[in-house]
Structure 1
């Protein structure tokens, strides 16, 4: 009952936010919701499946660039070229960009491209029984390689600057407060849907099998199941969630660049999940919002020190509160319930 009350309270707060926050603060909250969507996928893969995913920035970026490419083409001038291509001396739209003029293709790519990359990578890695620290290092290497690829293709990707200056999101004017509220509402709805899907997965048979793989992969294999398939499907779902978040991030923040997709941003996403609690979806969402809010608040005055603080916080949580804040709350509630039962018996 208490969890339902907390969920209802969160929904209420999200519903009243557009009417109580300034456009700037509402934009920040919408950005945090995007990170919360990624956090749900990380909690599914790491908390339930035991896969330490350190490269979610890749899938976040794939979704973001897919959406950004469509938005740039929809705002292109008479030459049909995005502004950065004109500045870079590109005279003809690259073949890679042409399909993204179609909104249906772009929306499909937001989901399918991250999902396909994760699916192929999962088949390759999990079939070879790569896990633990080796999988974490591999996912980090993927993030680093992705950033190098984006930076090195200035004429196609915008290089270090990425894709910027978006004024419209389909029919919504991003410079209008009403358009900003609409994009925020879309982010909130997507977060809710992603949360419900992940919750259904966890509570179902597949979720129980996923936890069994996390706790004893060899035992699951002995029982006739293929852990590689279970982990690949879960990894793919988490990548799709990250892609959706990246696509929403673009109209909300107005930029998608390599600086947002590398190893450090991927680690920051992981820290939020660890702080909130990777075993509880609501904890992961709350942790992502809390950590990113703290980053906004502290990095303005302590830009360099924030990274050290964040790293120290991650270590402290893993050592002293491995289940995160959600675990501390659950433990306190269980102790309180046990004390009440003991007093009743006495």
Structure 2
């Protein structure tokens, strides 16, 4: 029991880091930010779900996915479909040619609710879809790619292609998806108005608590044998394969896990922002999501959260203060990180802050970390399932 709890918390240092993050999210931000800024911060935290997934599949698994916006969009659109159907009751849509269907369907001369939309009358099915659909899609993609040993840059290009195809489909099927405008004018969740200030506070707290749960689950995965296997596969994949492990299926698992985390983030984005758009599904947002993980540190779960928040705060500040230059300033920030901070913010913490508070353990921990990295593949040679 003690070992399991230690794995979830990440040891003493991990527990302190998680406690600091929890205090910032649950106490400091709600206390000092107005409802608009707090809702904006909640939006940034939804991106942290994707960044954590990228830490798992890229930082530890060596799978650089440039299409995580696909799964973020799936979760967002599933939630948006449920909310849109609730907002499209007979009374609210009485002025339409066909009452009882979403407005964009009526504008496109659709006279009956499409079969695809029918199950989303149920909130239980919506939650099921948010979890299962990204897992199924990730499994299909991962199984097709990893069993054929497609990886590295080729996998990244294929994910970009899938993201582009999905964006084109969403925009092209305007009668089903709302097209380029997305699904907008979302009002209630089971009759509860999600547009009020009170609702925004509640949704922010739900989002923050879900993020903490995802952090704990991710730490549990990384502290298990699977986590050691992921690191070994990243460094010496062939050696792991020759040891008798099914490398492809381990990659499929972590890819599916990252996908469902991203989907949950997308669903919370829709609830907090009140719309879902194809601009959040394509290649550009997917690359930005990778940058969140890179800035925070691609080997740090907590760093991914801070990276997502800081990058988006930078986007907001630069776009407000320098509307003509903000893209250049943001691009410069990314270049600095890539050139001078290869381990992101987590690297700065490990180099300058960590020794100040953990002096006695620092040298020993650094030595153990290096040893674990160098012999990760050899550790799995014994006791492995073949």
TM-score after normalising by structure 2 = 0.84
Q: 1:325–1:187: structure 2 CA closer, same or farther, 3 Å change rule?
A: same
| Superposition map of 1:228-247 within 5 A | 228-247=248-267
Q: How far 1:251 sits from its partner (Å)? A: 1.5
- Aligned to 2:32, which of 12, 20, 31? 20
Residues 1:166 and 2:190 are matched in the alignment: no
2:245 counterpart SS class: coil
Give yes or no for contact 1:271–1:310 (8 Å, CA) kept in 2.
Answer: no
1:179 counterpart SS class: helix
| Superposition map of 1:56-67 within 5 A | 56-67=68-79
Number of paired residues? 341
* Corresponding residue number in structure 1 for 2:245: 225
Give yes or no for contact 2:46–2:266 (8 Å, CA) kept in 1.
Answer: yes
- Give, in whole Å, the separation in 1 of the partners of 2:327 and 2:66: 16
Q: 1:82–1:6: structure 2 CA closer, same or farther, 3 Å change rule?
A: same
- Aligned to 2:19, which of 8, 25, 30? 8
- Give, in whole Å, the separation in 2 of the partners of 1:45 and 1:322: 18
- Aligned to 1:211, which of 231, 252, 257? 231
Give yes or no for contact 1:202–1:208 (8 Å, CA) kept in 2.
Answer: yes
Residues 1:268 and 2:288 are matched in the alignment: yes
- Give, in whole Å, the separation in 1 of the partners of 2:316 and 2:136: 33
* Corresponding residue number in structure 2 for 1:87: 107
* Corresponding residue number in structure 2 for 1:126: 146
Give yes or no for contact 2:303–2:346 (8 Å, CA) kept in 1.
Answer: yes
Gaps of 5+ in 1: 342-346
More displaced 10-residue stretch of structure 1: 16-25 or 282-291? 16-25
Q: How far 1:125 sits from its partner (Å)? A: 0.5
* Corresponding residue number in structure 2 for 1:31: 43
Q: How far 1:20 sits from its partner (Å)? A: 3.2
Computed over aligned residues only, the root mean square deviation of the Cα atoms, in angstroms, reads 1.9
Give yes or no for contact 2:17–2:302 (8 Å, CA) kept in 1.
Answer: no
- Give, in whole Å, the separation in 2 of the partners of 1:272 and 1:126: 25
TM-score after normalising by structure 1 = 0.94
Give yes or no for contact 1:44–1:234 (8 Å, CA) kept in 2.
Answer: yes
